[in-house]
Amino acid sequence: MSNSSSPIVVALDFEKKQEALRLIEQLDPKLCRLKIGKEMFTHFGPDFVRQLVSKDFDVFLDLKFHDIPNTVAKACKAAADLGVWMINVHASGGEKMMTYARDAMQDFGADAPLLIAVTVLTSMSQDELNQLGVSGRLDEQVKRLASLAQQAGLDGVVCSAHEAKTLKADLGQAFQLVTPGIRLANAQQDDQTRIMTPHQALSNGSDYLVIGRPITQSSQPLQTLYEITDSIAELLNH
């Protein structure tokens, strides 16, 4: 089901489809995968996803489903029908919701997408979490929801690269960690605050690096992709 062995997942956050397609023309499906989020999916829908899949890209459909178990299971099935490589749900939807999602993937056998969970959104502060009635520490809540996702049979979680080391130690090598907030050494941070370079994130235990603007806004995206690939080569050849 996978066309690439690269850990790099390029986040396509464009308002115009043509801009995204222009970028994709310059990328190589062997060197990276693509992430489509709520913005592009809402604008351009499943046909756009199919278009990327037909160009041999592994697609992470980042729609973060969170609803009653039956609805989430059906939404996950609809996403898997598009032929994508990875999908996700909110772990805070609970174990039953995640188990239903996992079960919905069984019919797809070896073609099933990776099913991962979002724990606590990294945009959320400790105060905001407490406001929701969660009284414990934010990092403990991340750990609790990641364990719950593993218990429900999911393949991994989205997390900050700063959490990756602890989560790998607690949940084991096979549990996949997908990390945004990646910036190249000496590059601009944009609105990301707790950033890591690709090399640091992989060394910390990340399995997949979600990288948007450093590639999408680059004047030479393929060149940037090669540079990132080179910077992590020593970590991939083992």
Rule CB under 6 A: which residues touch ligand C5P?
Answer: 11, 13, 37, 121-122, 158, 180-181, 190, 192, 210-213
Question: Residue 156, SS3?
Answer: strand
Query: Contact at 8 Å (CB) between 124 and 85?
Result: no
Please state the closest distance from residue 191 (CB atom) to ligand C5P, in A: 7
Partners of 211 in the beta sheet? 10
Tell me which residue of 74, 112, 115, 69 sits closest to 93, measured CA to CA: 69
Q: Using CB positions, name the residue nearest to ligand C5P.
A: 212
Amino acid symbol at 225? L
Q: In angstroms, how far is CA 187 from the centroid of its own chain?
A: 22
Task: Considering the complex, state which of residue 53 and residue 157 has its C-beta at the smaller distance from ligand C5P.
Answer: 157
Which residue carries 């520490």 as its tokens?
A: 137
How far apart are alpha carbons 95 and 147 in whole angstroms? 10
Task: Considering the complex, state which of residue 104 and residue 209 has its C-beta at the smaller distance from ligand C5P.
Answer: 209
Please state the closest distance from residue 70 (CB atom) to ligand C5P, in A: 26
Please state the closest distance from residue 103 (CB atom) to ligand C5P, in A: 26
Judge whether 64 counts as a catalytic residue: yes
Please state the closest distance from residue 216 (CB atom) to ligand C5P, in A: 7
Task: Considering the complex, state which of residue 73 and residue 228 has its C-beta at the smaller distance from ligand C5P.
Answer: 228
How far apart are alpha carbons 58 and 71 in whole angstroms? 25
Task: Considering the complex, state which of residue 159 and residue 171 has its C-beta at the smaller distance from ligand C5P.
Answer: 159
How far apart are alpha carbons 159 and 122 in whole angstroms? 8
Please state the closest distance from residue 171 (CB atom) to ligand C5P, in A: 18
Query: Which of 17, 55, 64, 165 is the catalytic position?
Result: 64
- The residues, any chain, with a CB within 8 Å of residue 39's CB and separated by 6 or more, are 13, 15
Tell me which residue of 221, 105, 102, 222 sits closest to 150, measured CA to CA: 102
Task: Considering the complex, state which of residue 17 and residue 213 has its C-beta at the smaller distance from ligand C5P.
Answer: 213
Query: Contact at 8 Å (CB) between 150 and 171?
Result: yes
What does the DSSP 8-state code read for residue 113?
A: P
Active site residues: 64
